[in-house]
Amino acid sequence: MNKKIAVIKGDGIGPEIVTEAMKVLDSVAEKYGHSFEYDQLLMGGCSIDANGVPLTDETIERCKSADAVLMGSIGGDTTTSPWYKLPPELRPEAGLLKIRKSLGLFANLRPSVLYPQLAGACPLKEEISAKGFDMLIMRELTGGLYFGEHKTEEVDGVMTAVDTLRYDENEIRRIAVKAFEVAMKRSRKVTSVDKANVLDSSRLWRRVVTEVSESYPEVELEHMLVDNCAMQLVKDPAQFDVMVTENMFGDILSDEASMITGSIGMLASASMNETKFGLYEPSGGSAPDIAGQNKANPIATILSAAMMLRYSFDMSEEADAVENAVNKALNSGYRTGDIMSEGMKTVSCSEMGSLIAQAID
């Protein structure tokens, strides 16, 4: 197959980790007889420097004309980078929110898996980590607090800021359907996370998710309040299969879920629209403190590329091959600094990429 991939390397460690994911994709192409054509595009701080804005309309159009988008990370140090002196709508993050909205990427899939080889890096007690876990957070990505009305104004002489949490039933229904669909392919359990004891948007969320569940009788549905969920994630992460939740809750809970795997450098993500089109990026940020040092962990980006093969290109055998290659590199004892433990071999970002690319079969 011939596929066109829009590539956004971005800022910080983005260029390093995406280069390694491309190395792995090239190895897949060679072994499986595909051809991947890359269209490299700017977004975030590098786009601000080149074009004055974090995302241009041309970049959006070129992403739309590709079969999928592979992304690294955007942004810089928020206290020292000049990008953060700009008004909010011109900062790197605004580019990311705009691309999600422009491409209609409402479903953000963030798998969180405890690799047995990395159990030592899990900060939880051994009696908890010993059970392992494999969950998928389905975060709503184009609604809620992020995209409701924002304003800051003086009201009766007092500075006042407002962010609005708004959802309509259609936005809730389509993300709930995605959650139940993937649950059918996994362990058939959905935990819907909300704050229905306080928020109207959550009460509607709960009602619509319950309605959708009626079409999936094989899937067990459980509702959980977000504060309790934050606690359950560290108490008993093995209880979760698919978790579905609104944008802001999902942002926070997915960072928590990544931390208990030992390193955010291992976590892939996919952001999808209604079709097979998606944007694939690691869950972690641009890590400006280690940028340019060939130290970053490229595995999350490589696993994101595997998700692209699986979800956008229907290449499940190839996706399995990438995941197996990651396991092989870990089993052979290779580690980047973030997942290093005693007795293992430290490798650089580019060495890890090469090891995984060579292990594709």
Residues tagged active-site: 146, 195, 227, 251, 255
Residue 216 or 311: which CB sits closer to ligand IPM?
Answer: 311
Residue 96 or 175: which CB sits closer to ligand IPM?
Answer: 96
By CB under 6 A, how many residues form the interface with ligand IPM? 3
CA 7 to chain CA mean position, Å: 16
Q: Could you say which of 39, 77, 93, 181 contacts ligand IPM (CB under 6 A)?
A: 93
Per partner kind, with CB cut-offs from 5 to 8 A, the member of Mn ion, ligand IPM, none near residue 96 is: ligand IPM
Per partner kind, with CB cut-offs from 5 to 8 A, the member of Mn ion, ligand IPM, none near residue 93 is: ligand IPM
140 binds Mn ion (CB under 5 A): no
Q: Could you say which of 246, 251, 281, 318 contacts Mn ion (CB under 5 A)?
A: 251
- Which one of 15-23, 146-154, 232-240, 245-253 is the stretch in contact with Mn ion (CB under 5 A)? 245-253
Q: Which residue is nearest to ligand IPM (CB)?
A: 93
Residue 140 or 251: which CB sits closer to ligand IPM?
Answer: 251
Identify the bridge partners of residue 152 per DSSP, sorted by sequence position: 161
x/- track of binding to ligand IPM for residues 225-264 (CB under 6 A): --------------------------x-------------
Nearest approach, Cβ of 346 to ligand IPM (angstroms)? 28
Residue 105 or 329: which CB sits closer to ligand IPM?
Answer: 105
Yes or no: say if 70 and 14 are a contact pair by the CB < 8 Å rule.
no
96 binds ligand IPM (CB under 6 A): yes
Six-digit token string for 269: 């993500």
Residue with tokens 């629209």: 273
Q: At what angle do helices 316-331 and 349-358 cross, to 10 degrees?
A: 120
Distance, CA of 130 to CA of 76 (rounded, Å): 36
Residue 93 or 220: which CB sits closer to ligand IPM?
Answer: 93
77 binds ligand IPM (CB under 6 A): no
Binding site for ligand IPM (CB under 6 A): 93, 96, 251
Instruction: Give contact residues for Mn ion (rule: CB under 5 A).
Output: 251
